[in-house]
Structure 1
Amino acid sequence: MRIVIAGGHGQIALRLERLLAARGDEVAGIIRRAEQSDDLRAVGAEPVVCDLESASTEEVAAHLRGADVAVFAAGAGPGSGVDRKGTVDRGAAVLFADAAESAGVRRHIVVSSMGADAAHPGDEIFDVYLRAKGEADDHVRGREALDWTILRPGSLIDDAGTGLVRLEASTGRGPIPRDDVAATLAELVDTPATVGLTLELISGSTPISVAVKSVAGN
């Protein structure tokens, strides 16, 4: 398959690109800065330079045409301010979904955040972030032309992945290694039966492939 990943230089995206390329998929990662290109090539992905904060829907759609799957894994990052929560965590996610629809790419996977909710209260940066992610998720859910799955990981950690997770509509809070988030995304790419599901992900006791098949069968 050809898979295009927004936020291609992110920590989860680079792990996902490596996994997908290693199994023989054709992977492209959308990045903001050309100097990040070598990092993508090193994991087997094709770098595509495009700033999702300033690009038009048609420009992004041009990069998506011919893809089998679109994955949104971009984020403003923990050091960013309120403005970029709006332009990246909400705006870029909305743009990417609209571009996927325009390009005819039905399968759409979103890396969201546990607790994302358009009605989340509060004025702290993290509150703004959760509202932005929630608004973006709502937009994706409203696109009838997209076969979407939304993944909401718990607290991201850099420990080595265990391959054992808890994946459910509601898991409660908990940590999850980025390795295991990427591996779960790779499994979701291959499991269209998860279309229309919003899933939370934390470390657990179930092998990833079994966990994904379990939610797909419900």
Structure 2
Amino acid sequence: MRVVIAGGHGKIALILERLLADRGDAAVGLIRNPDHVADVEATGAQAVVVDLESVTAADVATHLQGADAVVFAAGAGPGSGAARKQTVDCDAAILLADAAEAAGVRRYVMVSAMGADVEAPDDIGDPVFVAYLRAKGHADDVIRDRDALDVTVVRPGHLTNDKGTGRVELSDQTGHGDIPREDVARVLLAVLDTAETAGRTLELISGETPVAEAVTQAR
């Protein structure tokens, strides 16, 4: 399987790239900063430098040729303002969907966020966080409506750098909770392997169910 991951230098993406490479799959990490090439290649993945905020869908599509799936794991990151929540967390995700359609890649896995909603209320956090949830929510809505794509949206809870346990809760609604990034990556890998999860939007937190079983149950 050949998987192209937008936001290839992100913490979740680096783990996913290593998981894919370790089992013999081809992982490609799309990254903005050429200084990050070595980190991506150290996972066993191929690094491609492309800035999703300044290219066209046709440009991105050239890097998706022959891919079996794309994963959107990019994000503007902490310290960025509301404007980049829109250009990265929303616009770049939609750009990747446009590129996937152009390249004939149907499978699209979106790393979203718990609480993502285009109508997220003003009083649930600071303005930038609200902008983030709205941007994520809009991207989710647009991409799920694409008939040419088989989309699974994964909405993790509060991300931690703790060692993964391999046990999660994955369902339409989980309630709030923490989840190690390592376990998010494991779930993404299992989702990529499970085409029947297409069309689902799934919340993800730590739990008691082994990853493979949790994903099977979520089909």
TM range (shorter): over 0.9
1:1-218 residue pairs with structure 2 within 5 A?
1-122=1-122, 124-216=127-219
Identity of paired residues, percent? 60
Aligned-partner Cα distance in 2 for 1:69–1:91: 19
Cα root mean square deviation, aligned? 0.7
Q: Distance in 2 between matches of 1:199 and 1:101?
A: 23
Q: Distance in 2 between matches of 1:126 and 1:142?
A: 25
Aligned equivalents of 1:182, 1:141: Cα separation in 2: 21
- Could you list the runs of 5+ residues in structure 2 that have no partner in the other structure? none
CA shift, 1:121, in A, is 1.8
Distance in 1 (alpha carbons) for counterparts of 2:26 and 2:80: 31
Distance in 1 separating the partners of 2:192 and 2:55: 26
Residues 83-135 of structure 1: per-residue CA shift (max 9 Å, x gap): 10010001100100111011100010000000000111216110000000000
Q: Matched residues in 2 for 1:173 and 1:20: separation?
A: 28
Moved over 4 A (4+): none
Q: What letter matches 2:101 in structure 1?
A: E
> Separation in 2 of the partners of 1:38 and 1:73?
19
Instruction: Report the secondary structure of 2:48's partner residue.
Output: strand
Q: Distance in 2 between matches of 1:91 and 1:54?
A: 11
Task: Return the TM-score normalized by structure 2.
Answer: 0.98
**Matches of 1:64 and 1:134 in 2, distance apart?**
25
Give the Cα separation in 1 of the matches to 2:107 and 2:86: 24
What secondary structure sits across from 1:199 in the alignment? strand
Aligned length: 216
SS state at 1:63 partner: coil
1:167-199 Cα shifts (integer Å, max 9, x gaps):
000000000000000000010110001010000
